[in-house]
Amino acid sequence: MGNVAGADWGLQVEPPLRLADVERHAWDDHADLVVVGLGGAGVAAALEGVERGLQVLALDRYDGGGSSAANGGIYYAGGGTAIQREAGEQDSAEEMFKYLRIEVGGVVSDATLRRFCDESVETVDWMLGHGVKLNSTIWREKTSYPPLDCFLYHPDSSLAAPYARQARPAARGHRAFARNGKKAWGLGVGIWAPLRDAALARGLRSHQYAEARQLALDADGRVVGVKALQIAPGSAEAERFGRYIAQAAKWIAALPPSFPLAWLTYAIGRWYLRRAEDIEARHRRPRWFRARRGVVLSAGGFIMNPVMVRQLAPAYAGGLPNGTLGDTGSGHLLGASAGGALDLMGRISAWRFINPPKAWAQAMLVNARGERFVNETLYGASLGDAIVEKQNGKAWLVLDARLRRDAFRQARDPRIVPFQRDVALLNLLFNCRKAPTLDALAERIGFDPATLRRTVEAYNRAARGDADDPFEKRRDELAEIAEPPFYAIDASVDSRLLPMATMTLGGLRVEESSGRVLDAAGAIVPGLYAAGRNAVGVCSNIYVSGLSYADCIFSGRRAARHAAGALVSCLKSNFK
């Protein structure tokens, strides 16, 4: 994977420090478990650890939370959670397993996936018991994101016919019972913050503005600590750094890069980020943190590191990075520096959401040749995967005048979230190529006219009920494309006005029963755990909404449980 010191990937991770005598090293602080990155996985490891009697210390370059706190607040859970039961939704761990087994694609074992599903009800109870607020108001229709007054919905492809015939659908998207105005992001804090507060109340020591740079190994190769560069806690510099970072994150994420005026918001964000980085350069000092029972790497993905994305997943380089400033890949590099094996690093989740408006999902997606290639009602990540992995990143949404009118009307529905409305209207107005005939539309886009005509004719036969749809769309999910003029919306990975959000799914290989990092030969790297998007996990094949958050909680708790078990075993051995 290149130079593990990070030179090839724009990172400054140092090779491990090897200690002949661990006790003689000048440690600044110590704990049983040191957590690197206090996002979703990190907070789960921290809370589970302190509940099990471990002394836990967490390091985060920023304020904590990461992408888990910044996301839309969706948590994937099923099997009959308290929220599902309250909503009258029928589900079981077996049906959840049958559905997810299709999506997971074997990246984790069936035993691990079953454990994930079997523990889902208990995990939601655990979260509720620590102050997380969820709600059973349900939205039963297909959508990329539910109306803001609904909190339980179908966040996946389970309602689509190809999946529904294999596993009984259930609403498994549990949205945090929180509001951020009319925005659909920043709601993940409704799950993360109560868990953080619960961990702090039970003894977690959290170090902000501390960037992990180096691991320490003992003479046997066991990971025993971490070096971080930290701004002095409570100092004026730390306060200014926090303000600058908050402003940088706000402005950088204000608009997709391809949108009008995005250059200006991004430039403002970069100005604040440079001010923050200047404080880091002048005021950080190295500090060493001893980990008696292990280090958990939970520092997020690497989607905000364009160098890594271009090198490892170039087909996705034109997408919209969906992450926060800490998603640089530093956790991956730290693990690799100690011998950990990286896997599925080219696996990116790309999201092409086209519902709402429903009329878009009733239209048809075609490739660069003008051929259909997918069921348009599938979840957005499945559509994005089909576009990038199977169609070289190129796709067009073809519709007629009636569907375009329907889309305008549906986009103005007050129930849909503003970001859904705004993106739909922007593309209907400014990303919609128009032609009086299908042949003329084909010439405008570059399709073979005869191919596009055949594609539309076959689609219309299915819409009329004269033939079955080869991609298993139901009759009410289809609409004839017959009324001129005709339109095509660019739905490619690099579409200027219809950004395709992307996030990374690969990471360090781990022993699935414990979360301990594995090397290239499959041997355990002692003292080192990985969780969340630093590790290969349940969502590392393909994403559905909330599955990464759920995997963060699952894998973070798993690592802490194992570390606590190791502590108990050690104490029993010493007692004997």
Please, what is the average pLDDT of the chain? 95
DSSP-assigned letter for residue 33: E
Residue ranges of the domains in the chain?
A: 7-69+186-230+289-349+505-575, 74-175, 353-490
Sign of CA dihedral 196, 568, 507, 547: negative
Within 8 A by CB and 6+ apart from 233, the residues are 207, 208, 209
Q: Do domains 7-69+186-230+289-349+505-575 and 353-490 have the same CATH topology?
A: no
Neighbours of 178 (CB within 10 A): 18
The SS3 assignment for 473 reads coil
What Cα–Cα distance (Å) separates residue 127 from each residue in 124, 192, 202, 280? Answer: 5, 10, 15, 35
Torsion of CA 304, 309, 314, 315, to 10 degrees: -50
Q: Top-level CATH class of 353-490?
A: alpha beta
In angstroms, the Cα distances linking 105 to 38, 75, 79, 251, 508 are: 29, 20, 20, 37, 18
- The reported pLDDT for the residue numbered 574 is 44
Which segments of the chain have a pLDDT < 70?
A: 1-7, 258, 566-576
Does the CA dihedral 114-119-124-127 come out positive or negative? negative
Class of domain 7-69+186-230+289-349+505-575: alpha beta
The pLDDT score that the predictor gives to residue 572 is 47
Q: How many CB atoms lie within 10 A of CB 210?
A: 24
What per-residue confidence (pLDDT) applies to 566? 65
Q: Give Cβ neighbours of residue 414 (< 8 Å, ≥ 6 apart).
A: none
Q: Which pLDDT score is estimated for 53?
A: 97
Residue 239 amino acid letter: E
pLDDT of residue 331: 97
CB neighbour class for 573 (10 Å; exposed up to 12, middle 13-18, buried from 19)? exposed
